[in-house]
Structure 1
């Protein structure tokens, strides 16, 4: 199931499965392994792939989205910008951003 969903997402973006692998940042041989074994990747890679295609991990694994609870998530401009930028940061950079935000918050109190 995962391999089929992955290939469909690749096609929808005009990418080959190997091309998407390169853009996401993992070994293209993994794609062949998924095809041959039928097993999905590990959680960390599932999260990267889901983020790249802007879908949930549930969708990657089942081809369906899970029902969301009735709640709206509203982000202001700054929150939205930070959310998008964090995707491309290293873990060290994320820690630095968090420390800086905590510093600014404490400074304002």
Structure 2
């Protein structure tokens, strides 16, 4: 898995707000924080608490996985399945 980049997390939030035509003030209210608090978190690159991230994802209609990685749960699950197959092949070759 790639290193987590908090700036990309906040970029996805901004992008999704724009696409969904949600103002920063409205988004903050739906997430249970003030607009100032939300702006401050984004500006300093602070990672939100998991409960706040859940509200963010729900408000934007995406998964927390998507906010964190840019991929949805299905993509992550498919990648994990591919890795399991590769590891099984490696184990099979090593056992021969």
Same fold (TM over 0.5): yes
Q: Which runs of 4+ in 1 moved over 4 A?
A: none
Distance in 1 (alpha carbons) for counterparts of 2:45 and 2:24: 15
Q: Which has the higher contact order (CA 8 A, sep 6+)?
A: 2
Correspondence list, 1:1-109, <5 A: 1-66=8-73, 67=75, 69=77
Superposition TM-score, scaled by structure 1 size: 0.54
Aligned length: 70
Q: Structure 2 unaligned runs (5+)?
A: 1-7, 79-96
- Structure 1: stretches of 5+ with no match in the other structure: 71-109
Q: Report the alpha carbon displacement of residue 64 of structure 1 after superposing the two structures with TM.
A: 2.1
What CA RMSD, in Å, does the superposition of the two structures yield over aligned residues?
Answer: 2.0
